[in-house]
Amino acid sequence: MPRPFSTDFILEPEKETTWQTGWLLSGYTFTKRDDGWLLTLKCTSRKGVRKVAFIHANTVLDCYQLWYSAMVSNSFTLKWRDDKYNS
C-alpha cells in the first residue's frame, strides 16, 4: 500500500507532478470502467511535446494513491508516452 498523501498533493497535484517530472501537468481525467477507474494524466514537456500516462485501479482513491506513489518514490513509475491525440 502506498504511503499516505501529503496535503500539498491533495490540494495541488500539478505542483508535485511538475516538481517530480519537470513537465507541466496540463490535465487529468477519471473515466469509470467496468473493472474500475482509469486515470489519464497529460503533461507537456519543456520542448512542447505532449505526453500521456495511464493509471488503472479499483477506486478513484487508489488511482490518486498510485499517482502520488509514482511522484514520491521509486517503487512505482509511470510509463509516459507521446500523446497521439495532441493537436
Q: Is residue 52 part of a domain?
A: yes
In a domain, 21, yes or no: yes
Q: Which grid coordinates belong to 5?
A: 498523501
Q: How many CB atoms lie within 10 A of CB 72?
A: 17
Whether residue 1 lies inside any domain: the answer is: no
Q: Which H/E stretch holds residue 38?
A: strand 36-44
The model's pTM is 0.82
Each residue of 16-71: pLDDT tens digit?
888 888 889 989 999 999 999 999 999 998 888 999 999 999 999 999 889 988 88
Does some domain include residue 63? Answer: yes
Determine the structural domain holding residue 28 and report its residue range. Answer: 7-82
The pair phi, psi for residue 22, each rounded to 5°, is 80, 5
Asked if the structure places residue 46 within a domain, the reply is yes
> What is the tally of structural domains in the chain?
1
Q: Would residue 15 count as lying in a domain? A: yes
